[in-house]
Amino acid sequence: MSVEVVKVGLLGLGTVGGGVIKTIHSQQEKLAARLGKRIEIVKALVRDAEKERAVQMGRTVLTTDFDEVLHSGVDIVVEVMGGVEPAYDYVRASIEKGCHVVTANKELLAKRGAELVELANRHQVHLAYEASVAGGIPILGVLRQFLRTNDITGIRGILNGTTNFILTKMEAEQLSYQEVLREAQELGYAEADPRSDVEGFDAMYKLYILAQLVYGESLPLAEVSRKGIADLTCGQIRIASELGYRIKLIAQANQTGDGIHLSVEPTALPLDHPLAQIQDSYNAVQLSGNIVGDLLFTGRGAGEMPTASAVVEDLAYLLTQPFTPHPVWKEREGAAKELSGGREQSLCYVEGAGPAATPDRVLQFLRASGVEVHKLKVQFDLGGVLRAGLITSGLHEEHTDLLRSDFGLQVRCFPLLHASE
């Protein structure tokens, strides 16, 4: 009996591409039982067809020419090459040829998703991208299918495994950012050029995609407030810990009366906050629904197999679903005002050795300025350098500016979440 074959073209044969091939091989029987079809990778686009690879592929499968993929009769194109160009051109051409597309490419979606969604709808093909956000956690599917009656009032997540690994290590082993980054690079957890991860771009792209699914719109990327972790010090993390907080790179979307607010930034969480427990390279997404309450989804957010799992689950899902138009993506300018507005609490770290750098003078100044200080932790080292952490309310930029200019202090403030947020 001949079994129908689904022909897949694979764009990119790096870590995730290799995982996709392994998964399709190891789960072939299960996939066939579910789909009644056999999945076959007929072409794989690579940069160098001669390179040694962990995954064995027939020489006729590998190609360096995208047109060869497109004209090999593929039904589905899986794009796991990353970056906007040339991925955008390839995905666009695949859709126009009537192929379904599965992609793990968050940057492509955040930058060109609106066009691609519209194009896929026009050509009535699936555009599936579960793997682009939070790796193996099926968060996009849940939002699209099972949380559509609820109003989602907030999303908070740890969406980047590399930075979470770095922050976990910095705290646990009291190492500097540079030391841990080097180790992460040696282990293959961080890229040679780590900017996309450590400056928060990667988490921002994922947050953008989540916002599109939850709110049906997002801010333009330029309006997302984004801070990375590259300037964090071991001293900041230690004093936060002594105050009962852990610093995480938190991506947040909140909808208020005057619009959406999207931010990615190092944030202080009390140790009993569910997201404070997410360590190493794990990812997590916390959702608040007006009916269901808080839900938390945790799993491996990156890496070969979790991401490959999401790609192949997407593949299987779209092969069993009739096409239905994808909700249109929109962008609307005009972010909501900063949520904090100076009234919220923050964890403020100060460091310096000048004559005015004493806890008494700092506290006196803050109180006279109307800033409440709820908690204070002070350290002096042998060289007379003050290091202090303060939990404050009502701290504005004008105050931190004065702490720098008049008190000779380095200042770094972190917004603060409460355990129930």
Q: Which residues bind its own copies (CB under 8 A)?
A: 23, 26-27, 30-31, 34, 130, 136-138, 141-142, 145-151, 274, 277, 289-300, 305-306, 308-310, 312-313, 315-317, 322
C-alpha dihedral over 278, 279, 284, 287, to 10 degrees?
30
Q: In angstroms, give the least distance from the CB of 310 to its own copies.
A: 7
Q: Which of 385, 329, 314, 375 is nearest to 355 (CA)?
A: 385
Q: In angstroms, give the least distance from the CB of 364 to its own copies.
A: 40
Q: In angstroms, give the least distance from the CB of 59 to its own copies.
A: 27
Nearer to its own copies, 164 or 196 (CB): 164
CA-to-CA distance for 220 and 233, rounded, in angstroms? 31
Question: Which H or E run includes 28?
Answer: helix 28-35
256 bridge partner residues: 259
CA-to-CA distance for 62 and 50, rounded, in angstroms? 9
Q: Is the dihedral of CA 261, 410, 183, 83 positive or negative?
A: positive
Nearer to its own copies, 109 or 308 (CB): 308
Nearer to its own copies, 142 or 230 (CB): 142
SS3 content of the chain, % helix, strand, coil (to 5): 40, 25, 35
Nearer to its own copies, 230 or 296 (CB): 296
Q: What own/partner pairs with CB < 8 Å and gap ≥ 24 does 51-55 have?
A: 53/13, 53/18, 54/18, 55/13, 55/18, 55/21, 55/22
Residue 255, classed as helix, strand or coil, is: strand
Q: Which of 332, 318, 334, 328 is nearest to 115 (CA)?
A: 328
**b/e map 357-391, b = 16+ CB within 10 Å:** bbeeebbebbeeeebebeebbbeeeeeeebbbbbb
Phi, psi of 285 (to 5 degrees): -130, 125
List active site positions.
Answer: 206
Q: In angstroms, give the least distance from the CB of 313 to its own copies.
A: 5
Q: Are 415 and 344 in contact (CB under 8 A)?
A: yes
User: Which residues are within 8 A (CB) of 85 and not within 5 positions of it... i.e. 6 or more apart?
Assistant: none
Residue 332, classed as helix, strand or coil, is: coil
Q: Are 105 and 196 in contact (CB under 8 A)?
A: no
Q: In angstroms, give the least distance from the CB of 135 to its own copies.
A: 8
Task: Please name the residue that has the structure tokens 């694979």.
Answer: 10
Q: In angstroms, give the least distance from the CB of 315 to its own copies.
A: 8
